[in-house]
Amino acid sequence: MKEKLLDFTFRYGALIVIAGVLLFFTTQSPYFMTYNNITDILRSISIVTFVAIGVTFSLIVDGFDLSVGSTVSISTVVAASLMVWYEQPLWIVLIVPVLVGLLIGFINALLIVKIKIPDLLATLAVMYIINGIHKTFTEGYSIYDHMNRADGTVSPGAFTESFKWIGQGKWLGIPVPVLLMIVAVAVVHIFLKYTTLGRQMYITGGNREAARLSGIRVDRIRLLAYLLSGGFAGIAGILFAARVGTGQIDAGAPLLMEAVAAVFVGFSVLGAGKPNVIGTFFGAVLIGVLLNGLTMLNLQYFTFDIFKGAVLVFALAITFVHLNRKRV
């Protein structure tokens, strides 16, 4: 009986918590389960979900990418500067930040795979470097429409409506960022579950030496994981800029911890016990619901981290108690 209860908790505990949190906030506020509020929650987690998908890829290959937050920040200010400072067309504004993210992912992979620096140390160093670069590039200022530059000149450009539509617009009544998030989660799930490369990523993360002996090009798989991590963070940077209509420095700073929390909560969704994009999505939903509900209850914002941390501890406890029991 105890074994069955533990297995049930492991498989459905996270989903039960999400349902319980939804029920609690629904009883506390008549506005919580309205269509507008639900879409607001989903819109708010869309950026975190893109960042978390990148973290998921790095964890799948038994790595970790601490630089995703700084990648979001530099991608945000690059997108903003291309519009406000250089008046570039939309396609350039969309492509260049993603390329920047891919470049950061490549640098991470080079340090980790070729130079053999431990992933936490390598991505921590890159995080500091990227933070310094984007603050130097913007001279410490956020970028906004027709801003005054440090040399006294006025920036000629502004955020275009077509760009802001990506972060603020709706299609068939559904926010565009939500649609992009759903498509991204579905595509990544199919990639990881049904393609050879996706399966090779899991094999590499499970046992690198066994993967190498079975003919998998382990270094290339790890390179791909970090490229995808940087690329998804770059997309998140574009969404952030489009949503707020400015290029904020340190835009991605708070996103790293929320993304990590979403990924680890996802370990316990449906008993996965490993990084998976569906679990990551539900983890992001739980974080988003918590923040939205606590805001509606008028709790002080500085208490939010306590609740996020408690949820993360609960999810990790469920996951690792089960995994340790299986090993025994």
**CA proximity to 47, closest of 212, 224, 291:** 291
Q: What confidence score (pLDDT) does residue 265 get?
A: 83
* Mean pLDDT value across the chain: 89
Pairwise CA distance, residues 157 & 138, whole Å: 15
What average pLDDT score do residues 31-51 get? 92
Count CB neighbours of 177 within 10 A. Answer: 26
For the stretch 170-222, pLDDT in tens is 998 899 999 999 999 999 999 999 999 999 999 999 999 999 999 999 999 99
Pairwise CA distance, residues 141 & 138, whole Å: 6
Task: State the first-to-last Cα distance of the chain, in angstroms, to the nearest integer.
Answer: 18
Pairwise CA distance, residues 203 & 57, whole Å: 13
Going by pLDDT thresholds of 50, 70 and 90, the confidence category of residue 271 is low
Query: pTM value?
Result: 0.93
Q: State percent of the chain over pLDDT 90.
A: 60
For the stretch 218-252, pLDDT in tens is 999 999 999 999 999 999 999 999 999 999 888 88
pLDDT higher than threshold 90 for residue 143: yes
CB 284 within 8 A of CB 262: yes
For the stretch 104-128, pLDDT in tens is 999 999 999 999 999 999 999 999 9
Domain locations in the chain? 2-327
CATH 1.20.58 for domain 2-327, yes or no, is no
Count CB neighbours of 28 within 10 A. Answer: 11
CB 134 within 8 A of CB 248: no
Of 62-66, 136-140, 219-223, 301-305, least confident by mean pLDDT is 301-305
